[in-house]
Amino acid sequence: MDEVIRRRRVYGADHDAPDPGPRPGHDYRELVGGPLDGLLLDVTGWTEGQLAEGALLDTEIGRYGPGGRAEYGPRTGSRRLWDWRGDTP
């Protein structure tokens, strides 16, 4: 795991957690744009179909506030980056 990835916070980790970063042996996607920009999403154990589909992620800081979700999906040509597709209630 490279140094830049090790310093990032993982989606779902508490802000005050002693080590909110990625763990060795896990597979991550970097979220790009939108309310979760810069976070890492742990996709360890996801199927190829799940990875191709992307994810709706709970967030309180998106367009719809508490209870809203942000949609992210794979960037064409990049295995590592997932782009923001928009927010949904």
Q: Where are the domains of the chain?
A: 3-14+26-88
Letter for the amino acid at 89? P
pLDDT by 10s per residue, the chain, length 89: 554 555 689 998 887 888 888 999 999 999 999 999 999 999 999 999 999 999 999 999 888 899 999 999 999 999 999 999 999 99
Give residue 8's pLDDT: 84
- Cα gap 79→9, rounded to integer Å: 19
Residue burial 56-68, b: 16+ Cβ < 10 Å; e: rest:
ebebeebeeeeeb
- Tell me the per-residue pLDDT of 74-86, one tens digit each, with 9 for 90 and over: 999 999 999 999 9
Give residue 19's pLDDT: 85
- Give kind and range of the element (H or E) at residue 88: strand 81-88
Please give the structure tokens belonging to residue 72: 């992210």
Where are the alpha helices (H) located in the chain, listed in sequence order?
Answer: 3-6, 48-53
